[in-house]
Structure 1
Amino acid sequence: MENLIESRLYFCFNCRNHVALHDDVISKAFQGRSGRGFLFSHAMNVRVGPKEDKELITGLHTIADVSCCDCNQVLGWKYERAYEENQKYKEGKYILEKSKIVRENL
């Protein structure tokens, strides 16, 4: 927990539950459902929903919605599988939508 206090954290915009660390941001150049999205290597205090195949801008992926474990707000999705070889780096990673998270420095 001490490491979390020293890190910049991202919170659910709705209930302020901790959902990600700034150090886990891989890219801020992604598109979410409702605008900009950030690609994270890890997320915490989230629930991963059922998997579904979805055609995204970069091709077919198997994704699962990610929601806050406290308030159930959908925050983005997790990439479960990428079907194109050049998209495999996304597997196991999370997209959290900028409009659904708040960054705070502690």
Structure 2
Amino acid sequence: MGRKFVCFTEVRGESVGCAGCRTYITCEKEITSTAFTGSTGSATLFKKAWNIYHGDMGKREMTTGVHMVRDVHCSNCRKKLGWMYEFALVPSQTYKEGQVILENALVVPLQREVVDPISENDKRPPTTPPIETARHRTSSGMSSRTNSESSTSSHSSSSDFHRKH
């Protein structure tokens, strides 16, 4: 089974993924600030993150005051990646609410190149598939009508249809 993707937004700058399994988490356009520190070193505050799940909420004393936070984990490999600010008890810190801290040691930049599995960038013209219907038979399946057969046909033409209706 392949990697599970909850969401993959349009790529808006460099993509960021889990260091453990390379699952897409967010992109650089979601960055609010890079001036944070986590338990493993430097960390980045992002407005949004995808393909994560949240742990239990708890009260934590941090450098900027007391916050209600939840740990965030990769939804694919379950590694801890950082935390999410649920509620700031210090009024000047409310801008962090709902945003996610990802520790830089636990995430990696992802390759922007996506492999084209169906060769859409192939410059050759597409081949016509062999289609056989009642109207379009292959030459080996049915002989064509002669002009005399088609003129004596009992079917009415489309112009006959329009005159009658």
CA contact (8 A) 2:65 2:89 kept: yes
| Alpha-carbon shift at residue 7 of structure 1 (Å) | 3.5
Q: TM-score, normalized by length of structure 1? A: 0.94
Q: What is the match of residue 84 of structure 1?
A: 90
CA contact (8 A) 1:7 1:105 kept: no
Which runs of 5 or more residues in structure 2 are unaligned? Answer: 1-7, 113-165
Relative contact order higher in (CA < 8 Å, ≥ 6 apart): 1
Q: TM-score, normalized by length of structure 2? A: 0.61
Q: What is the match of residue 45 of structure 1?
A: 51
1:58 to 48, 54, 64: 64
CA contact (8 A) 2:17 2:23 kept: yes
* Alignment partners' CA distance in 2, 1:18 and 1:3: 11
1:9 and 2:15 aligned: yes
Which runs of 5 or more residues in structure 1 are unaligned? Answer: none
Match of 1:72, SS state, is: coil
CA contact (8 A) 1:37 1:95 kept: yes
Query: Within 5 A, what are the aligned runs for 1:23-38?
Result: 23-38=29-44
CA contact (8 A) 1:25 1:38 kept: yes
| Alpha-carbon shift at residue 34 of structure 1 (Å) | 1.3
Counting strand residues as a fraction of each chain, which structure ranks higher? Answer: 1
Instruction: Give runs of ≥4 in structure 1 deviating > 4 Å.
Output: none
Report the count of equivalent residues: 105
* Alignment partners' CA distance in 2, 1:78 and 1:67: 10
* Alignment partners' CA distance in 2, 1:33 and 1:95: 11
* Distance of aligned partners of 1:54 and 1:34 in 2 relative to their CA distance in 1, 3 Å threshold: same
Match of 2:110, SS state, is: strand
* Alignment partners' CA distance in 2, 1:62 and 1:33: 17
* Alignment partners' CA distance in 2, 1:25 and 1:94: 10
CA contact (8 A) 1:47 1:67 kept: yes
* Distance of aligned partners of 1:45 and 1:2 in 2 relative to their CA distance in 1, 3 Å threshold: closer
Q: Percent identity?
A: 34
